[in-house]
Structure 1
């Protein structure tokens, strides 16, 4: 009987250990760092399909969207407005909840409250000042199905066919304040290359993808499937570093790993 009691006690202790380990893991994921897998090419070549990163949720504070329990809509922070937060900086790569689609997006934060944003012939203007672009060669990749969604890239050099080299012109864009990053170009006159002037309202931000001709972002209204002006409470966190990267359909396809992107800083 004593042996049975000891065995039953061991099982109970194991269950307790597993339970508290799960609670700690869920709390850590909900409050501190959220894993994020890049599914699309909107942020190339800063982020590639198959890049895996952790989102720093402490960077901008918390709202109901940034502390949800994994795989639920239950939030540990049932507040509409952010708290314990600091303001994001222009040029940050941010993850946010799309206000109408309800899914998580990743883009670069371009406009702060009160900024005037406009695209002219593919060039970004902030408050009437050009964000200069310096040519920086060509971004090349193989034209093939990419990632779990099996998307194929868009190419500036036309229909290259399966296995061909897909090219996009690459430039270094410098934002006010001096932060620089790569941007890609596909179309000479894409739908987001020439816009009206957007004035960012108080409490909102303006986000864009680095792959400028293949990004649904703040240049397009929510009514047309875009992001529009992003309310501050929808921010989830900042992406700082790629931890792992796989070019294949699954991370278990070892031969598709990209070791040169492991622990790569996001600029």
Structure 2
């Protein structure tokens, strides 16, 4: 009578490739997982320009949470990546107004729903001027499905104050920036913390 254990060992030993095949199989699975994560969970972007200084600097590499676009909720103060419909390029800016908010600029300060917001992420003394879309002293009501965003470097940022950007459709948002991964950061390990929404009186 044949030994079933011996037959099993013989079959196993005849698998093509042996350890090399298993290594290749593991690599393919790992690659598939990475692709899924990259397509549906996170996205890498490079900061282009100085519009978000001092929070982000030119050529820094960041990671963006894409899950929030479909299963989460954006908050005032979130730093986001979005596609600008005018230029076709990706922009990085900070959300100031959510659907239903009223945003205005007056005397160098930003107001949301009539209350001046405390922007601790800006250098002391940095002021905000109006633009071609949101002029000084005017108020914009952010409609459903749209957002109002500003760059932290207010004097060097093309953002929702300008007609070439204006209000941003939610479908153009690509996610929330949560990490600066290059160059390495010693403080906070490059983690981009969310702003306390109480400064927006929410």
Larger radius of gyration: 2
Q: 1:52 to 1:117 in 2, by over 3 A?
A: same
Equivalent in 134, 139, 145 of residue 203 of structure 1: 145
For the Cα contact (< 8 Å) 1:183–1:212, is it kept in 2?
no
CA RMSD of aligned residues (A): 3.0
Give, in angstroms, the shift of residue 210 of structure 1: 0.6
Equivalent in 135, 146, 154 of residue 212 of structure 1: 154
The 2-side partners of 1:228 and 1:51 are apart by 25
The 2-side partners of 1:111 and 1:187 are apart by 18
For the Cα contact (< 8 Å) 1:96–1:237, is it kept in 2?
yes
Q: Counterparts of 1:180-195 in structure 2 under 5 Å? A: 180-183=120-123, 191=131, 194=136
For the Cα contact (< 8 Å) 2:100–2:142, is it kept in 1?
yes
Q: Could you list the per-position Cα deviations for residues 87-115 of structure 1 after superposition, in whole angstroms to 9, with x for gaps in the alignment?
A: 21111111122234332211100001121
Unaligned runs of 5+ in 2: 1-14, 196-202
Q: 1:93 to 1:189 in 2, by over 3 A?
A: closer
* Greater helix content: 2
Q: Report the number of matched residues.
A: 178
The TM-score with structure 1 as length reference comes to 0.56
Question: Partner of 2:35 in structure 1?
Answer: 26
Question: Partner of 1:155 in structure 2?
Answer: none
Q: Could you list the per-position Cα deviations for residues 65-98 of structure 1 after superposition, in whole angstroms to 9, with x for gaps in the alignment?
A: xxxxxxxxxxxxxxxxxxxx23211111111222
For the Cα contact (< 8 Å) 2:130–2:161, is it kept in 1?
no
2:202 matches 1:265: no
Unaligned runs of 5+ in 1: 62-84, 133-172, 174-179, 246-256
Question: Partner of 2:61 in structure 1?
Answer: 52
* Greater strand content: 1
For the Cα contact (< 8 Å) 1:43–1:210, is it kept in 2?
yes
Give, in angstroms, the shift of residue 45 of structure 1: 0.7
Give, in angstroms, the shift of residue 242 of structure 1: 1.8
Give, in angstroms, the shift of residue 185 of structure 1: 6.7
Question: Partner of 1:228 in structure 2?
Answer: 166
Q: 1:49 to 1:184 in 2, by over 3 A?
A: farther
